[in-house]
Amino acid sequence: MSVPFSSLGSRVALVTGGSRGIGQAIAVELASAGATVSLTYRSTPVGADDTRKRIEELGAQCLALECDVTDLAAVEAVIRQTLDHFGRLDILVNNAGTTRDKLLVRMSPEDFDVVIATNLRGTWNFCRAAIRPMLRARWGRIVSLSSVVAASGNPGQTNYAASKAGIEALTLSLAREVGSRGITVNAVAPGFIETDMTRDLPEGVVEGMRERIPLGRLGAVEDVARTVRFLVSEEAAYITGQVIRVNGGLG
């Protein structure tokens, strides 16, 4: 069997929000490529345990750590624990994210602040805490989850779309700061992906989404995970400051 990309065998990856959905698929995908994985969860140790078991069944090592991404001290502690446990940190995947959808007239300042704090500040917190070991090693890969709505906008998501557009701008800026040190920084912007969130939507809404997607189907979490795996591989060494859209052709 041919191996499409070189192994991540010597690499240690940290995936935020790895207890379910896209984050779980990314953690398992990187482990299946040979990486050692540290993952964070906020409140669901059951989901994190499930991810850890799946990773260990693949013969890879995994550490699951509780962490609220909005808390910089907690984020720094997670990076320290990962370095203490595995001795290095090569790959950071900023996946943790949240929504509080409402039309602007009904959106509270708290709805805005929570989404910005989790998605944008959480991503910044992890980049800030993880960048030093990468600078020292003169090698690193950072991939952050954006969304199709960062570029298109979406009614009811002024907070979420702004947070994801912020992540894309952060990505472009950080890529310019650290490119000379062998660190690449990219974002992945998924379209409609089948997760718990989309599974709960009425069939009519899902059908409406499907009709708008040129490839005629919602994305699978693995579609996103395989893109992340490519971006953190040796083969993607010349790709930085990019937003890769994984959306089935959705505009």
Q: Which of 41, 86, 112, 160 is catalytic?
A: 160
Q: Does 200 engage in binding with ligand NAD (CB under 6 A)?
A: no
Q: Which one of residues 49, 54, 61, 68 is an interface residue with ligand NAD (CB under 6 A)?
A: 68
Q: Which is nearer to ligand NAD, 86 or 160 (CB)?
A: 160
Smallest separation, CB 160 to ligand NAD (Å): 7
- Residue span binding ligand NAD (CB under 6 A) among the ranges 90-98, 132-140, 178-186, 227-235: 90-98
Binding-site size, ligand NAD (CB under 6 A): 26
Smallest separation, CB 239 to ligand NAD (Å): 20
Q: Which is nearer to ligand NAD, 22 or 55 (CB)?
A: 22
Judged by CB under 6 A, the chain residues 127 through 186 that form the site for ligand NAD are 145, 147
Dist CA 50 CA 12 (whole Å): 19
Is 238 assigned a catalytic role?
Answer: no
Q: Does 23 engage in binding with ligand NAD (CB under 6 A)?
A: yes
Smallest separation, CB 224 to ligand NAD (Å): 7
* Residue numbers annotated as active site: 160
What residue ranges bind ligand NAD (CB under 6 A)?
Answer: 17, 19-23, 41-42, 67-70, 95-98, 118, 145, 147, 190, 192-193, 195-198
